[in-house]
Amino acid sequence: MEDCKMADELDPNNMKILLRLGRVYTSLGRPDEAVQVYDSINATAKDKQPALTMQKHLRMAEDTARNEGSGSMVIYALNEAEKGLGAGVDKPRKWQLMRGEAHLRMGNANALGEAQNVAMSLLRYNNQDPDALVLRGRILYAQGENDKAVQHFRQALACDPDFKAAVKYLRMVQKLDRMKSEGNAAFKSGRFQEAIDTYTQALEVDPSNKGTNSKILQNRALCHSRQKSWKQAIADCEKALELDPSYTKARKTRAKALGENGNWEEAVRDLKAIQEENPSEPGIAKEIRDAEMELKKSKRKDYYKILGIEKDATEQQIKKAYRKLAIVHHPDKNPDDADAADRFKEIQEAHETLSDPQKRERYDSGADLVDPNDMFGGGGMGGGMGGGMGGGIDPEILMQMFGGMGGGMGGGRGGGGGFHFSSGGGGSPFGGMGGMPSGGRRGGPPGGFPF
């Protein structure tokens, strides 16, 4: 190019020299300058076409990016523009930044990997490039690496203290981290509504960050679950999965909420689908067994529902509910009601079971649903405890079945030192899965948390 410029100075308006200069500009990715040269000499349409084609595709890429259009359209336009570059010519920095931005906007794992390649290529060329540092920081932020993202934004500001993009994203990430921490602290302290409110505000900080927002929605779903607001928990899990379809933790939380909301069949299907896709998923086999047991339990008489109490009701609450219902539904008070006797019998049956600690424990765990004749899967001991006792029976439930056999086994709530089927999360042995807050019937601190 420099040779062409020098030749033009020595021989101004030489058409042959200027045509060559236009071609050089085009091959370097500078079509605007090429078109200016061609226009100055009234070049033919054929001579101008390569520069005009490159210019058209670049404008398309710039306009699409400016209007926040499809990232794939930006990449397509850039690919077409790059066809006009000369052999061995590096892609212009501006084009690379546009490509990285387009991949970042697409947001999936592969696209983020491509965006990272672009950013690293630019930083290898110049590790003090503030645009490349911000691009790399935004990619890390999209991947959930917020601490590393903050480092890159600060490094960009060290290179250019007035760089507005670096200031914008630095403040955004710091605000989101602060709100996330506040929400987590509220959750761990049992202040679930406060946590929900904080997570709701956090979702408004950056609607474009699919990865982080899917986790915030999952966290909010956990809070709704602790409040037994199952429909809201399901809705939040659905939103989280729209943002990240591969988010297994949200799928597990949704399964738990679906079951507790009265649909254990779908919960079992969802968990089995997770196992089929990833057989090595930690704890999935037990979660399926627990959900299947809950499905069986859901098809029998619901003593808690009969008495109109929660599954974590205290003995005093059980007694109070029984007395109230017994008075209302006693057959002597309902001589004209043919169903009164049956209702009263159910109320007595529910009270008899739930007021006895051992019977209640067996009822809650599902041990009362296990047929002793089927304990060994119909095949005797078979291949030892691991094979013969297959049949899908949880060992904890088996121990519950022998709950009253003496001090060594220590069954039920009152037995000493024995096995105890802990039904975390409101009476369901499904608690604690995938970060689901769990705990014993009588309360206790929230369980594990995904953030």
- Is the model more confident about 103 or about 397? 103
Q: Where are the domains of the chain?
A: 2-173, 206-298, 303-355
Residue 17 pLDDT: 75
> What is the average pLDDT score of the chain?
83
Residue 424 pLDDT: 38
Residue 11 pLDDT: 47
Predicted confidence band of residue 340 (pLDDT cuts 50, 70, 90): confident
pLDDT in tens, 187-200: 999 999 999 999 99
- Report the pLDDT averaged over residues 158-180: 96
Which top CATH class is 2-173?
mainly alpha
C-beta atoms surrounding 386 within 10 Å? 8
Strand, coil or helix: 24: helix
The answer to whether the Cα torsion of 107, 109, 115, 116 is positive or negative is positive
The answer to whether the Cα torsion of 132, 138, 144, 148 is positive or negative is positive
- Is the model more confident about 336 or about 413? 336
Predicted confidence band of residue 58 (pLDDT cuts 50, 70, 90): very high
Residue 303 CB partners (closer than 8 Å, separation 6+): 349, 350, 353, 354, 363
Q: Which of 223-232, 255-264, 266-275, 341-350 has the lowest mean pLDDT?
A: 341-350
Residue 2 pLDDT: 55
pLDDT in tens, 4-27: 455 545 445 657 778 888 899 999
CATH superfamily of 206-298: Tetratricopeptide repeat domain (1.25.40.10)
Under a CB-based contact definition with an 8 Å cutoff, are residues 433 and 287 in contact?
yes
Residue listed under structure tokens 């101004």: 12
- Report the pLDDT averaged over residues 172-179: 95
Of residues 180, 253, 190, the one with CA closest to residue 222: 253
- Report whether pLDDT(426) > 80: no
pLDDT in tens, 373-392: 655 444 444 444 443 444 44
pLDDT in tens, 232-269: 999 999 999 999 999 999 999 999 999 999 999 999 99
pLDDT in tens, 83-133: 999 998 999 999 999 999 999 999 888 999 999 999 999 999 999 999 999
% of the chain beyond a pLDDT of 70: 79
% of the chain beyond a pLDDT of 90: 63
- Fold match, 2-173 / 206-298: yes
| Chosen CATH of 303-355 out of 3.30.365.10, 1.10.287.110, 3.30.465.10, 3.40.50.970 | 1.10.287.110
Residue 149 pLDDT: 97
Distance CA 331, CA 344 (A): 7
pLDDT in tens, 291-313: 999 999 888 888 999 999 998 99
Residue listed under structure tokens 């066809």: 83
Predicted confidence band of residue 32 (pLDDT cuts 50, 70, 90): very high
Tokens of residue 409, six digits = 């086994």
